[in-house]
Amino acid sequence: MDIGLKGLKAVVTGGTKGIGRAIAQTLAAEGVHIALCARNADEVAKTVAEFSVYGVKVFGRAVNVGDGPALQAWVAETDKVLGGIDIVVANVSALAIENNEDGWQRGFEVDMMGTVRLVNAAMPSLERSAHAAIVTISSVSGREIDFAAGPYGAFKAAIVHYTQGLAYHLAGKRIRANSVSPGNTYFAGGVWNQIEHGNPELYQQALAMNPTGRMGTPQEMANAVVFLASPAASFITGTNLVVDGALTKGVQL
C-alpha cells in the first residue's frame, strides 16, 4: 500500500534514539526528506549519515527543544534546506518523573513548550503545504494514573488536549493534528532497559500488567505515527491513537 509520503518533508525532534529515531528512519524509508534534531551533535551527525542510504535529503542539528530561540532557528533553517515542511513530529520528552519543582519546570519547558514552540515555528510552512500534518507524542501515562503521575503524566495529558484543539482550529486550513500515546516501549539504552537492570521489581510489575506479555518496540510506535502523518490518513484529525498492546483499561471516549 502506497501511503503517499514520497517527496514530502518532515521534522522530527529527538530523532537519534528510540521512538524518534524509528519515526525518522521509517519516514526516510518511505521517501520523505527529513530534518531531525537531538542534543548530542555527534549522534545527530551519525544518524544523518546512516539515513542517507535512503536516497532522501537528511538534515540534522544539535538542538535543545527547551531552548525556544534555538528551536525556532532550527525550524526556519529546515524550511530553507528542505524547501518547505509538510510534517511535524513533536517527540522529545524530558522524562520528568520526580514530583519536584525541577521536574515540573523541565516537563513544562521540554514536553509542553517544546511541542507548542515547534508547532508555532513550523506553522507558516504548514500553511503552504498541501499535505500538512502534525503528530505529537503523548503517553499512556497521560490517560491513566501510574508511577509517572507527576509532571510526566500531567504534561502528556496536556499534549493530547492541545493537539485536539489544534485539530479543531486548523481543520479549515487543511492542517491535520493527531497524537500517539505509546505504551511501555523497550529498546537498548531506553528507560525500560535501564529499569530492567536498575529496578527489576518495577520492570517485572510493568511487564506483568500487559496482557500481551511484552512491551512495545520503537518500530511499532513509529508505524502508527507515520500512518497518521501520511496522506492515507487524510480524514483522521483530532484523534489520540493509543499503541499499548491493551495495557490501559480505561475506555477512551
Which three cell numbers, joined as nine digits, stand for 22?
524509528
Name the nearest CA neighbour of 87 among 56, 46, 64, 112.
56
Q: Which one is catalytic: 156, 179, 181, 186?
A: 156
DSSP state at residue 142: G
| 179: annotated active-site residue | no
Specify the amino acid at residue 121.
Answer: A
Strand partners, 243: 182
| 230: annotated active-site residue | no
Dihedral (Cα; 24, 89, 39, 56), 10-degree rounding: 30
Specify the amino acid at residue 39.
Answer: R
Coil vs helix vs strand at 13: strand
| 139: annotated active-site residue | yes
Distance of CA 40 to the CA centre of its chain: 18
Neighbours of 168 (CB within 10 A): 11
Name the nearest CA neighbour of 165 among 225, 230, 119.
119
Q: Which one is catalytic: 93, 125, 129, 139?
A: 139
Neighbours of 77 (CB within 10 A): 14
Alpha-carbon distance of 119 to 216, in angstroms, equals: 27
Q: Which one is catalytic: 9, 17, 93, 152?
A: 152
| 138: annotated active-site residue | yes
Specify the amino acid at residue 184.
Answer: N
Q: Give the catalytic positions in this structure.
A: 138-139, 152, 156
